[in-house]
């Protein structure tokens, strides 16, 4: 049973700022802005952004300029796929690398898991407990469950 990691779809409304040079290709500017979220831990979503849907809806149909700001803001509706991690829960990962003092697993091929250990570690799938989450890297710090 894997209750340490789950995936969730989140639909959000964003106001995306585009510079005047980006207005020649609004779609490209919007995608470039959304790409900034990929692989980042977003506190409001309580998880790591894995991807977003290609179905992006321009809500108002046109952008808005606010005061003297040179940017034009476009309101869009987009759906993100979020990877959620839960402390003190169990998950699984495949061994990627190992040293004498720690090893690194990959969970779902998306998130790295660092596990301190001593002694040899067999290749393959391993069960671990999520002990901490480093949201800056982002990665999981875990402990093997035998």
Model confidence pLDDT, tens digit, residues 60-112:
888 999 999 999 999 999 999 999 999 999 999 999 999 999 999 999 999 99
pLDDT of residue 54: 87
**Least confident among 22-36, 50-64, 79-93:** 50-64
User: Which domains does the chain carry?
Assistant: 5-85 (3.30.1490.120), 90-144 (2.40.50.140)
User: What is the distance between the alpha carbons of residues 19 and 27, in angstroms, rounded to a whole number?
Assistant: 13
Nearest Cα residue to 70 out of 104, 32, 23, 33: 23
Residue 6's pLDDT band, with cuts at 50, 70 and 90, is very high
Structure tokens at 90: 């169990």
Residue 33: count other Cβ atoms within 10 Å of its Cβ: 16
Residue 77 in contact with residue 86, Cβ under 8 Å? no
- Max intra-chain CA distance, the chain: 63
Number of helices (H), then strands (E), belonging to the chain: the values are 1, 11
Pairing of strands 5-18, 125-134: unpaired
Residue 49 in contact with residue 40, Cβ under 8 Å? yes
Residue 32 in contact with residue 121, Cβ under 8 Å? no
Nearest Cα residue to 139 out of 17, 40, 28, 61: 40
């Amino acid at each position: 049973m894997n209750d340490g990691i789950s995936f969730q779809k989140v639909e959000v409304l964003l106001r995306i700022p585009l510079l005047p040079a980006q207005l020649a290709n609004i779609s490209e500017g919007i995608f470039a802005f959304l790409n900034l979220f990929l692989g980042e831990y977003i506190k409001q979503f309580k998880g790591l952004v894995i991807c977003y849907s290609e179905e992006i809806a321009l809500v108002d149909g046109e952008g808005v300029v606010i005061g003297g700001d040179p940017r034009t803001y476009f309101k869009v509706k987009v759906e993100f796929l979020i990877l959620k991690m839960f402390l003190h829960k169990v998950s699984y990962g495949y061994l990627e690398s190992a040293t004498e003092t720690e090893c690194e697993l990959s969970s779902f091929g998306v998130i790295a898991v660092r596990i301190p250990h001593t002694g040899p570690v067999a290749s393959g799938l391993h069960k671990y407990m999520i002990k901490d989450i480093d949201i800056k890297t982002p990665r999981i710090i875990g402990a093997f469950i035998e």
